[in-house]
A and B are shown apart, each in its own frame.
Chain A
Amino acid sequence: MARGFAPLRDVPERADAGGGSRFALDRRLLDDLADLALTGAKAGGASYADIRLGETLREYAAARDDRLEHFDERSTRGFGLRVLLDGCWGFYGARRLDPASIREGVARALENARAVRPIQSQPIALEQLPAHEAEWIMPMAVDPFAVPTREKSDLLLAICAAARDNGADFCTASLSLAREERFFANSFGARIRQTRTRVHPTFTATAVDRAAGRMASRDSLTPARGAGWEYVAAAALLDEAKIAGEQARAKLSAKPVTTGDYDIVIDPTNLWLTIHETVGHSTELDRVLGWEANFAGTSFVKPAMLNNLRFGSELMTIVADRSQPGALSTIGFDDDGAPAASAEFNIIEKGVFRNFQMALGQAHYIGLPASNGCAYADSPTAFPIQRMPNISLAPNPDRCSLADLVSGVENGVYVVGAGSWSIDQQRDNFQFGGQLFYEIRNGKLGALLRDGAYQSRTIPFWNSLDGLGDASTYHLDGTFTCGKAEPVQVAPVSHGSPPARFRKVRVLNTTGDA
């Protein structure tokens, strides 16, 4: 079945590695600062210490209708030193890279570890990680930071014009770029340099019917990626904006969804967020241990459920990895210094729950020998915490197209693109909107629908999975900004999936009887 409504294109995922961005910060300086920190921490009594030094470059440009509203470049450099002293963590971070700041950092990190000692009822225990000396650079063809400013601003204005010339009354478009350059060193002897880049072009086309007092919008379906400018250039954003303008207009007069239980087919452009919220977050061990109980929440998944919980139907295999080309969480080593190979595992295997995601110092709580490479700090000055690697739904090994999935539905709904989202603090009850809803009648896609959302519970939902697209239907999506922890850290992460079919899911009309 052609994607006439969603002009997604496969674009080069892994371009010429020779074009990758080289590590630019002064290596000798970083080596010396790291040695100063780790030596000082050891002299101060720390049983373990690690340090992240580096710089993050960001660029953000935004257009609205016929104006370029923002064009900002931002560079942030600094370090974060973590020490373990008498079983207590202490951390200090600063946006400076000089010996005096490092010395202050050592003193303050040790002081902080001593400060929390009165409430540390159980000492923090760490496993020994192998000490890697390595350099990893994300391959890409065209450095997005080197693309001329005018080319970027013209693209955003052209996107807005394409949407507005084709049905939208308003359009906003933006471009986010990020490059992380990190040097990690720890007292086990690890020395790791890494550089990765990501890009996120996006837009929203909006149509308004002032007389009726109604509005409708259609967000871009082009996902964020770990890639260079070649991804943006090949993403057919102008074609998508044109179609989005037409669809925003069409949504104003579309048929309303009738609330009821339907068989639904979910496109990967929507399903990625459902995977993220229901599987990605529920299987984070720090949540299970209660470390996020005061903010992001805990989980309905318990340690005793490992290898026992029937999470979904046999079609459901969820894979965690840090090596998927073009994905946002792809990297050589996590922020504890664990290699990407540690983060290659199945979370769900043929419907059965098999693995938690873990960061350094967590595995022993559930009787395992070592973590599995799932740590990330969103800046050098942030404390590294457990975060998702790329987490994806494996495609059906048997041939199955989108048309095959739709053909098995008598009365249902097809959902495209992520809309509003919400899930409870233990990752059970959820409600997701979408960008486009289509009627399915007697095995065929039908009319465009409006005002839809689906609501379900994690385990019944995944157990109702009875159809899955094959590898030819697989699509990688994701977000720049998954939030977690206090203070909040944002992490980039990708989720791939084929389209999938679920039976008897509650679909709401959001303007009527939601």
Chain B
Amino acid sequence: MFLTSDDAKALSDKILARSNADACVVKIDGGEDHSLRFARGGATTNLATSEISLRISSHIGGRIGSVTTTRLDDEALEAARARSEEIARMLPVDPEYVAPLGPQRYETAARYDDNAISLRLDALTAQAAQVIAEGARVGVDTFGCASSARRFEALATSAGLFAYEPRSEIDLSATARNKADTWSGWAGAHEFFGARLDAASIARRACAKAAQEAEPVDLEPGDYTVVLEPVAVADIAFWLMSAMDARAADEGRSFYSRPGGGALIGEKLFDEKLTIRIDPTDPLAPEGGVGWEGVPHRARAFIDRGVVSTLYRSRAWAQKTDAEAVPFARNFIVEGGDAALDDMIRSVKRGVLVTRIWYENMVERKSLLLTGLTRDGNFLIENGRITAPVRNMRFNQRLGELFGRIEALGATQRTWRAAGGGGAAAAPPMLAEKFHFSSKSSGV
């Protein structure tokens, strides 16, 4: 169920007016979603859903009780309000309690297109049809998912804050596999505006990568020069960003912890080519204006020319450390460089072009040791040319080392939804040395 700002305001005002708590916070989110999955030239699952949820958080004596409901009738809302207050009264006092925020100034992020027609299932079917047709033309099997959403988030507090943000989303991803089932390719994109999605380009790129008849090459595990395509860079950078919590750093539980105590803010930990920033007004991958806990997102760098410049800081930790609260970023932009992807490949004597990575997991948080595998489009580079598909490999890679020796970056582009849940990222292709592949994988 998609509510307008006025509808959300009226609903939250009604609940706030009835609150018996010291303070009250109302969070409403919902929307309409469509999705279509296809495989080998046919639809497998599809859905359209209309969803809404409303959370009431009652603050009583430094304690917070919350109840979330999907029912919006008066009886249900009144029961949720009363129960949230009952819970709060039964909890122990929170020694780090912070009261709800009052009015804030938010940047307007351009993430909403009111063209709901472009989000419906028949529009998604038309996109899938382009992938299926390209697969038939090139002679590969195609599999994919097209999805779209029109969603909103609203936040209101008894201290006078009201925030409302809508967003529209559309994405298409396609996997193609050759008929012999010995190779695969992938491409995908996520956009906030339906008209920006180029289904034909996604179809061409996925199918071209998969259309390999040559026997894939087996490489021995070891350190390799790699050219990572933008979606792979965004996936890996996401883990870098996820670890940037100030409290963990201050407490000695993080890669960003200073030996002996404190956080490594202001230290150069990465190659000076690395800058990662967020910006609600950036058209490429705009962060939402309303951050976690209602704290506004501002344009800022987290890593600025290799130097750690900002860490996330919850309001509770900000209060305790007398510092600015910084909300967790769902979107981010990895700044690019001036190298063309083809030029990067031409510069490699022997290495691997990686399209996509899969099943990453942090093995060791303190050293940011990340494991994962290549997937759907892995190619051998020899003497500046792509010479063959190369079988997938597992990597075990410390991210400080990877982003500490960047050889070149290309132009930043919007990537598929690496950050998930309404998030988007933008990243460039990246050339890096000594990427550590630890074992072979037969998975195609």
Interface residues, chain A, CB within 8 Å of chain B? 66-78, 80, 88-96, 108-109, 111-112, 115-116, 118-122, 148-150, 153-154, 157, 169-170, 206, 208-215, 286, 289-291, 293-295, 297-298, 300, 381-383, 385, 419-429, 431, 433, 451, 453, 455, 457, 485-487, 506, 508, 510-511, 514
Whole-angstrom CA separation of A212 from B261 in the bound complex: 10
The answer to whether A119 and B49 touch across the interface, beta carbons within 8 angstroms, is no
With most chain A CB atoms within 10 A of its CB, the pick from B252, B253, B362, B438 is B252
Shortest beta-carbon distance from A424 to chain B in Å: 4
Q: Can you list 29 A-B contacts (CB < 8 A)?
A: A67-B94, A69-B94, A72-B68, A74-B53, A89-B45, A91-B45, A95-B1, A95-B70, A119-B43, A119-B125, A120-B42, A149-B90, A153-B90, A153-B91, A153-B92, A208-B251, A213-B257, A290-B40, A291-B39, A293-B177, A295-B145, A381-B49, A422-B371, A426-B443, A431-B371, A453-B363, A485-B45, A486-B37, A514-B363
Ranked nearest first, the 10 interchain pairs of A and B with the lowest CB-CB distance are A424-B443, A426-B443, A429-B441, A213-B259, A293-B143, A74-B68, A514-B396, A149-B90, A116-B43, A208-B252
Which residues of the other chain, B, contact A295 by a CB distance below 8 angstroms?
145
For residue B363, which residues in chain A have a CB less than 8 angstroms away from its CB? 419-420, 431, 433, 453, 510, 514
Interface 1/0 per residue, B169-210 and A, CB below 8 Å: 000011101000000101000000000000000000000000
List, in ascending order, chain A residues with CB within 8 A of B121's CB.
111-112, 115-116
CA distance A383 to B362 in the complex (A): 31
Nearest B residue to A92, CB-CB: B48
**How far, in whole Å, are A116 and B36 apart by their CA atoms in the complex?**
8
Question: How far does the Cβ of B26 sit from chain A's closest Cβ, in whole Å?
Answer: 14
Q: Judge if B286 is at the interface, Cβ distance under 8 Å.
A: no
B394 touches A422 (CB 8 A): yes
Q: Given A294-B175, A514-B396 in contact, is the A76-B443 Cβ separation under 8 Å?
A: no
Q: Mark B75-99, 1 if CB is under 8 A from A, else 0.
A: 0000000011011001110111000
Given A149-B91, A514-B363: A169 and B251 interface contact (C-beta under 8 Å) = yes
What is the bound-complex CA distance between A295 and B174, given in angstroms? 9
Contact assessment for A211 and B369 in the assembled complex, using a CB-CB cutoff below 8 Å: no
CA distance A424 to B359 in the complex (A): 7
Contact: B145 with A294, CB < 8 Å? Answer: yes
Q: How far is the CA of A94 from the CA of B50 in the complex (A)?
A: 5
Contacting chain A: which of B59-67, B108-116, B152-160? B59-67
Q: Is the CB–CB distance between B47 and A383 below 8 Å?
A: yes
Judge whether A116 and B125 touch: CB under 8 Å: yes
Residues of B with C-beta under 8 A to A382: 47
Chain B interface size band reads 35 or more
Give the distance in Å from the alpha carbon of A431 to the alpha carbon of B438 in the complex: 10
In the complex the two chains form, is B364's CB within 8 Å of A119's CB? no
**B70:A118 contact, CB within 8 angstroms:** no
Contacts of B242 in A (CB 8 A): none
Structural contact, A424 and B49, CB atoms closer than 8 A = no
Contacts of B371 in A (CB 8 A): 420, 422, 431, 514
A75 adjacent to B125 (CB under 8 Å): no
Interface of B: prevailing SS:
strand
Contact A95 B53 (CB under 8 A): yes
* B96 x A455 contact (CB < 8 A): no
Q: Is B425 an interface residue (CB 8 A)?
A: no
Given A68-B94, A95-B70, A487-B35, A212 and B259 contact (CB-CB distance below 8 Å):
yes
Set of chain A residues within 8 Å of B396, measured between Cβ atoms: 431, 508, 510, 514
Contact B96 A93 (CB under 8 A): no
Do B369 and A511 touch across chains, with their CB atoms under 8 A apart? yes
In the complex, the answer to whether A425 meets B358 with C-beta atoms within 8 Å is yes
Shortest distance in angstroms between A172's beta carbon and chain B's nearest beta carbon? 11
B247 to chain A, nearest CB (A): 9
Q: A119-B132, A215-B253 are in contact. Are A73 and B70 (CB under 8 A)?
A: no
Tell me the nearest residue of chain A to B129, going by C-beta. Answer: A119
Indicate whether A422 sits within 8 Å of B120 (C-beta atoms), given known contacts A72-B67, A95-B1, A211-B259. Answer: no
A69 to B45, CA, bound (A): 39
Taking the complex as formed, is B440 at the interface, i.e. its CB lies under 8 A from any CB of chain A? yes
Q: A118-B129, A294-B145, A420-B363 are in contact. Are A428 and B43 (CB under 8 A)?
A: no
Given A94-B51, A208-B252, verify A486-B147 contact (CB < 8 Å): yes
Contact partner of B253 (CB less than 8 A), chosen from A70, A206, A511, is A206
Q: Are B46 and A89 in contact (CB under 8 A)?
A: yes
**CB closest residue in chain A, given B372:** A422
Bound CA span A352–B120, Å? 46
Q: A89-B43, A426-B443 are in contact. Are A67 and B96 (CB under 8 A)?
A: yes
Q: Given A92-B49, A210-B260, A420-B371, do A115 and B253 touch, yes or no (CB 8 Å)?
A: no
CB neighbours of B259 from chain A (8 A):
210-213
Q: Which residues of A contact B63 (CB under 8 A)?
A: 68
Question: Is there a chain A Cβ closer than 8 Å to B14's Cβ?
Answer: no
By a CB distance below 8 angstroms, the chain A residues around B367 are 511
| Residue B215 lies at the interface, judged by CB distance under 8 Å to chain A | no
B residues near A511, Cβ cutoff 8 Å: 364, 367, 369
State whether A455 touches B443 (Cβ < 8 A): no
Closest to B173 in A: A294
Shortest C-beta distance, B305 to chain A (Å), equals 24
- Does any Cβ of A come within 8 Å of B432's Cβ? no
Contact partner, B55, options A72, A215, A290, Cβ 8 Å: A72
Q: How far is the CA of A214 from the CA of B253 in the complex (A)?
A: 8
A425 interface neighbour in B55, B126, B443, Cβ under 8 Å: B443
